[in-house]
Chains A and B, each alone.
Chain A
Amino acid sequence: MMPNLDLSAISPMIFVAVGAILLPLLEVLLARMIERRRSWLGRTVNREMASTAIVIFTVLLLVLALLRTVGTFDLPVAHFNLDHPMIAVDQLTRFLNAVLLISAILTVLVSSRYLADIGMDHGEFYALLLASLLGMMLLGAATDLIMLFLALELMSIPIYALAGFQRSSLKSNESALKYFIIGSFASALLLYGCALLYGATGTVELAEIARGFDPENPLTLLGAALVLVGFAFKIASVPFHQWAPDVYEGAPTTVTGFMATAVKVAAFGALIRVVAVGLQPGAEIMYGVFWWLAVLSMTVGNVMAIIQQNTKRMLAYSSVAHGGYMLVGICVGTQSGYAGLLFYLLVYTFMTIGAFTVLAILTRDGREVSRIDDLAGLHETHPFAAIVMTLCMFSLAGIPPLAGFWGKWYLLTGAVERATAIGDTSLIVLAVVLVMNSAISLAYYLRLPVVMYMREARGADRPDATAGALQTTVLWVCALAIVLIGVVPGDFLILFGDYDLIASARVAASAVSP
Chain B
Amino acid sequence: MAEYAGLGLFLLLGSGLVALFLVLTSVLGPKLRFAEKQEPFECGEHPIVSPYQRFNVKFYMVAVSFIIFDVEMVFLYPWAVVFKGLAWYGFVGMLIFLSVLTIGLAYEWMKGGLDWN
Contact = CB atoms under 8 A, between A and B. Distances in A.
Direct A–B contact present (CB less than 8 angstroms): yes
B103 interface: yes
Interface stretch (B10-18, B28-36, B106-114): B106-114
The 10 closest A-B pairs by CB, nearest first: A28-B110, A24-B107, A2-B89, A28-B111, A1-B85, A25-B107, A28-B107, A25-B103, A21-B103, A21-B100
B87 interface: yes
B106 to A, nearest CB: 7
A299 B110 CA distance: 51
Nearest to B84: A1
A32 interface: yes
A22 B107 CA distance: 10
Interface in A15-70: 21-22, 24-25, 28-29, 32
Contact of A32 (B86, B87, B103, B110): B110
Nearest to B87: A1
Interface of A: 1-3, 21-22, 24-25, 28-29, 32
A25 B107 CA distance: 6
Interface residues of B, number: 11
A1 B110 contact: no
* Interface class of chain B by DSSP: helix
B89 A29 contact: no
9 contacts: A1-B85, A1-B86, A2-B87, A2-B89, A24-B104, A24-B107, A28-B107, A28-B110, A28-B111
Interface of B: 85-87, 89, 100, 103-104, 106-107, 110-111
A167 B111 CA distance: 17
A3 B88 CA distance: 11
Given A1-B86, A28-B110, 14 more contacts: A1-B85, A1-B87, A1-B89, A2-B87, A2-B89, A3-B89, A21-B100, A22-B103, A24-B103, A24-B104, A24-B107, A25-B107, A28-B111, A29-B110
A38 to B, nearest CB: 15
A24 B101 CA distance: 13
A25 B102 CA distance: 11
A148 B116 CA distance: 39
Highest count of chain A CB atoms <10 Å: which of B85, B86, B107: B107
Nearest to B90: A1
B22 to A, nearest CB: 48
Contacts of A1: 85-87, 89
A24 B103 CA distance: 9
Contacts of A3: 89
A21 B110 CA distance: 15
B115 to A, nearest CB: 13
A360 to B, nearest CB: 27
Contacts of B85: 1
A32 B103 CA distance: 16
Contacts of A24: 103-104, 107
B64 to A, nearest CB: 13
A1 B88 CA distance: 9
B72 to A, nearest CB: 14
Contacts of B100: 21
A29 B87 CA distance: 35
A21 B96 CA distance: 12
B65 to A, nearest CB: 15
Contacts of A21: 100, 103
Nearest to A28: B110
A261 B9 CA distance: 67
B106 A25 contact: yes
Nearest to A17: B100
A2 B89 CA distance: 6
| Residue in A2, A22, A24 whose Cβ sees the most chain B Cβ within 10 Å | A24
A54 B65 CA distance: 26
Nearest to B82: A1
A1 B86 CA distance: 6
Contacts of B103: 21-22, 24-25
B93 to A, nearest CB: 10
A2 B107 CA distance: 33
A29 B85 CA distance: 39
A120 to B, nearest CB: 16
A316 B58 CA distance: 37
A24 B111 CA distance: 10
Contacts of B89: 1-3
Nearest to B88: A2
Nearest to A5: B89
A29 B111 CA distance: 9
Nearest to A24: B107
A23 to B, nearest CB: 10
A436 B85 CA distance: 62
Q: Among the interface residues A3, A25, A29, which one has the most CB atoms of the partner chain B within 10 A?
A: A25
Contacts of A22: 103
Contacts of B111: 28
Contacts of A25: 103, 106-107
